[in-house]
């Protein structure tokens, strides 16, 4: 994924850094990458881009990169790749033509012509972009009717909501879904220690069989441990006391009530 890597190559970032005074300032004048630099160099030759001397251009570009590196300008990889590529093209252009063209390799002149074509195209797009901006732009140069209250005719057939808004709607929800958290309410329970202490205090009064439900405490119904928790903790605590011999428990049949009483003759 190039996402994490690409921003480092971004010249906007470099410019921001320059604005902050953090980086060496090299006037790149909005150049965004190798083609733009080439284009700027080509323009300075004041020639028809399609009849450009790519050789001359390559030399200038290599000088530009050299110079920029000398000033410790942290060059983006893009620039170096293009520099290497141009150096290769330059060498091909300078070398005498081999008698037989090697393999599928296109002639250097043709590659140079294509590069010139791309520059011409990029140049055309920049000019076009400027031409668009000199047009009568809505709400900058021309204005439509201003009174929203008085609008009474609404054009039909206009699509409300395009694909982009559909995608945004979808992603908005999926993102929500992945960040959704389930936080169950914390259940408060009746601590076993409390049940044990309470039972010990009650032992002197438990001289006859008492149902568990009568022994377990009642808490406030709207908060704190539930009735079931009181019952369960009290039962557990009582079984511990039975094991210690301080208490007796009995249940006459399955699912019947559990009865508790203090062991006769032992009172603590």
Partner 1 sequence: MSLADTEREIEALLFAAAGPLSEADLVKRLPEGADVPAALATLAERYRGRGVELARVAERWRFQTAQDLAWLMTDEREEPRRLSRAAQETLAIIAYHQPVTRAEIESVRGVQASRGTLDVLLELGLVRMRGRRRTPGRPVTYGTTDAFLEHYGLASLADMPGAAEMRVAGLLNLDLPADFAVPDPNAISLDEDPLDDGDAPEFHTDYLGKE
Interface with partner 1, residue 162, by CB under 8 A = yes
Among 96, 98, 155, 265, binds partner 1 (CB under 8 A): 155
Place of tokens 């033509």: 97
Size of the site for partner 1 (CB under 8 A): 87
Interface with partner 1, residue 152, by CB under 8 A = yes
Collapsing DSSP states into helix, strand and coil, what is residue 263?
A: coil
Say how many CA atoms lie within 13 Å of 57 toward its Cβ.
31
Q: 162-169: long-range contacts (C-beta < 8 A, 24 or more apart)?
A: none
**What minimum distance in Å lies between the beta carbon of 137 and partner 1?**
6
Site residues (CB under 8 A) for partner 1, limited to 170-199: 170-178, 180
**What minimum distance in Å lies between the beta carbon of 185 and partner 1?**
19
Nearer residue to partner 1 within complex by CB, 20 or 177:
177
Site residues (CB under 8 A) for partner 1, limited to 127-146: 127-129, 131-133, 135-146
Interface with partner 1, residue 121, by CB under 8 A = yes
Angle (CA) 7-13-16 rounded to 5° is 165
Instruction: Give the Cα separation of 24 and 73 in Å (integer).
Output: 6
Interface with partner 1, residue 151, by CB under 8 A = yes
Tokens of 222: 């709207």
Place of tokens 């992603």: 171
Closest by Cα among 186, 185, 188, 189 to 231 = 189
Collapsing DSSP states into helix, strand and coil, what is residue 182?
A: coil
Among 23, 28, 33, 202, binds partner 1 (CB under 8 A): 33
Instruction: Give the Cα separation of 197 and 92 in Å (integer).
Output: 95
Interface with partner 1, residue 30, by CB under 8 A = yes
Nearer residue to partner 1 within complex by CB, 166 or 256:
166
Stretch that binds partner 1, among 52-60, 62-70, 113-121, 230-238 (CB under 8 A): 113-121
Stretch that binds partner 1, among 17-25, 109-117, 203-211, 212-220 (CB under 8 A): 109-117
Site residues (CB under 8 A) for partner 1, limited to 209-268: none
Instruction: Give the Cα separation of 192 and 200 in Å (integer).
Output: 12
């Amino acid at each position: 994924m190039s996402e994490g890597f690409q921003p480092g190559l971004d010249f906007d970032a470099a410019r921001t850094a320059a604005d902050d005074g953090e980086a060496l300032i090299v006037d790149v004048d909005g150049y965004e990458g190798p083609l733009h630099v080439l284009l700027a160099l080509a323009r300075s030759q004041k020639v028809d881009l399609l009849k450009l001397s790519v050789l001359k251009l390559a030399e200038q570009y290599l000088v530009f990169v050299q110079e920029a590196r000398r000033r410790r300008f942290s060059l983006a990889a893009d620039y170096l790749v293009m520099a290497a590529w141009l150096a290769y093209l330059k060498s091909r252009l300078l070398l005498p033509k081999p008698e037989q063209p090697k393999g599928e390799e296109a002639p250097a002149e043709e590659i140079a012509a294509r590069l010139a074509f791309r520059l011409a195209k990029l140049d055309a797009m920049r000019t076009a972009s400027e031409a668009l901006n000199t047009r009568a732009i809505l709400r900058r140069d021309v204005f439509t009717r201003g009174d929203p209250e008085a609008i009474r005719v609404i054009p039909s057939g206009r699509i409300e909501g395009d694909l982009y808004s559909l995608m945004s709607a979808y992603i908005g929800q999926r993102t929500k879904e992945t960040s959704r958290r389930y936080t169950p309410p914390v259940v408060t329970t009746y601590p076993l220690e409390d049940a044990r202490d309470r039972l010990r205090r009650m032992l002197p009064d438990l001289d006859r069989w008492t149902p568990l439900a009568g022994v377990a405490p009642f808490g406030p119904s709207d908060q704190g441990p539930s009735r079931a928790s009181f019952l369960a903790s009290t039962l557990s605590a009582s079984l511990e006391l039975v094991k210690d011999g301080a208490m007796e428990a009995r249940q006459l049949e399955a699912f019947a009530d559990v009865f508790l009483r203090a062991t006769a003759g032992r009172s603590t």
